[in-house]
């Protein structure tokens, strides 16, 4: 579904300094797989997500999504950013339908779809509310429905729950697992929380500090659906510790 081959990214700062953001990234995500990427801040994991989304261009290497080379933004991808980035003048339903308006898709069928997505994230009855009337967690839920409304094959998530409080975050993790199971999407999740990565993913990719490289990959075999109790199990703790060690060995944990 997603394939990165020897992907590197350099960019220049405003002062003209050349920065090596990503080095030789080899990565693949299978159809319907949930992959989490963890790494220290500034390791280029958000950059990697933007390369896959086609909103940044890579310097060398190849990126394929569903077998075709990524050469720019594409419509078979949905993105959830770190901040919900809702449009304050649009109500919840209109925000969910933004991709439909932008891409000129059929309004009627997608309105039905948007409503069922809002129901799925627990926001039924909130269709006519405006973003300023919602909590941070609710806003991020809306941004998830917006990412899914045009039925993309791939869902890219860039630290989507980083700005939420711990309780809301756990709830969102449970909800995301459910959404992933129902919507059957391929999910690529960037996070800096190791336990969030392990809890949600089929596979966790660990990245190094800049220039970002793939340090290790871990298969996560806990049975689905996972409850939050999994986090208390010794196997879970061992995995988290192992991943943290990897990051510490590379001298990347702050």
Partner 1 sequence: MNDPAASGTASKPPTLTQRWWLRVRSQPEWVCTPLMFVVIFGGWEWYVNTYQVSELILPAPSKILVSLYDGLANGIYVKALMVTLQAIVLGFLFSAAMAFILGTLISQIRLLEAMIYPYVVALQTLPKIAIAPLILVWVGLGIESKIIIAALVSFFPMLVNTIAGLKSTSSDKLELMLALTASPTKTFFLVKLPEALPYIFAGLQIGIVLAVLGAIVGEFVGSKAGLGYLIIQMNYTMDVSGMFAVLVILGVMGVVLNTIITLLRQRIIFWQRTDVSAI
Q: Report the nearest approach of partner 1 to the CB of residue 66 (Å).
A: 16
Q: What is the dihedral of CA 207, 213, 215, 220, to 10 degrees?
A: 50
Quick check: 125 binds partner 1 (CB under 8 A)? no
Site for partner 1 in 31-70 (CB under 8 A): 53-55
Give how far Cα 27 sits from Cα of 52, 58, 63, 188, 244, Å. Answer: 11, 14, 9, 11, 20
- Other residues' Cβ atoms within 10 Å of the Cβ of residue 31: 12
| 191 close to 206: Cβ distance less than 8 angstroms | no
* Nearer to partner 1 (CB atom), residue 135 or residue 227: 135
Quick check: 11 binds partner 1 (CB under 8 A)? no
Quick check: 103 binds partner 1 (CB under 8 A)? yes
User: Of 10, 11, 130, 222, which lies in the binding site for partner 1, with binding defined by CB under 8 A?
Assistant: 130
Size of interface with partner 1, in residues (CB under 8 A): 23
Quick check: 74 binds partner 1 (CB under 8 A)? yes
User: Of 6, 19, 30, 102, which lies in the binding site for partner 1, with binding defined by CB under 8 A?
Assistant: 102
User: Of 39, 44, 99, 160, which lies in the binding site for partner 1, with binding defined by CB under 8 A?
Assistant: 99
Quick check: 134 binds partner 1 (CB under 8 A)? no
Quick check: 81 binds partner 1 (CB under 8 A)? yes
- Other residues' Cβ atoms within 10 Å of the Cβ of residue 98: 17
Stretch that binds partner 1, among 9-17, 77-85, 108-116, 234-242 (CB under 8 A): 77-85
* Nearer to partner 1 (CB atom), residue 77 or residue 240: 77
Q: Report the nearest approach of partner 1 to the CB of residue 71 (Å).
A: 12
Contact positions toward partner 1, by CB under 8 A? 53-55, 72-75, 77, 79, 81, 83, 85, 87-89, 98-99, 101-103, 130-132
């Amino acid at each position: 579904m997603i394939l990165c081959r020897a992907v590197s990214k350099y960019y220049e700062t405003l002062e003209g300094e050349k920065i090596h953001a990503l080095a030789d990234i080899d990565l693949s995500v299978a159809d319907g797989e949930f992959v989490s990427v963890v790494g220290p801040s500034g390791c280029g994991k958000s950059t990697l997500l933007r390369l896959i989304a086609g909103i940044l261009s890579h310097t060398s290497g190849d990126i394929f999504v569903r077998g075709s080379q990524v050469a720019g933004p594409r419509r078979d991808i949905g993105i959830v950013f770190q901040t919900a980035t809702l449009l304050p003048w649009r109500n919840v339903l209109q925000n969910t339908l933004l991709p439909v308006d932008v891409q000129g898709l059929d309004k009627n069928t997608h309105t039905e779809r948007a409503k069922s997505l809002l129901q799925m994230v627990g926001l039924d009855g909130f269709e006519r509310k405006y973003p300023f009337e919602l909590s941070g967690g609710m806003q991020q839920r809306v941004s998830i429905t917006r990412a899914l409304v045009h039925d993309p094959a791939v869902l890219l998530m860039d630290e989507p729950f980083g700005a939420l409080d711990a309780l809301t975050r756990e709830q969102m993790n449970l909800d995301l697992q459910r959404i992933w199971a129902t919507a059957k999407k391929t999910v690529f999740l960037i996070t800096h929380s190791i336990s969030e990565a392990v809890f949600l993913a089929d596979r966790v990719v660990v990245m190094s500090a800049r220039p970002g490289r793939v340090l290790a990959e871990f298969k996560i075999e806990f049975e689905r659906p996972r409850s939050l109790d999994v986090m208390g199990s010794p196997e879970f703790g061992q995995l988290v510790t192992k991943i943290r060690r990897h990051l510490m060995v590379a001298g990347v944990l702050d």
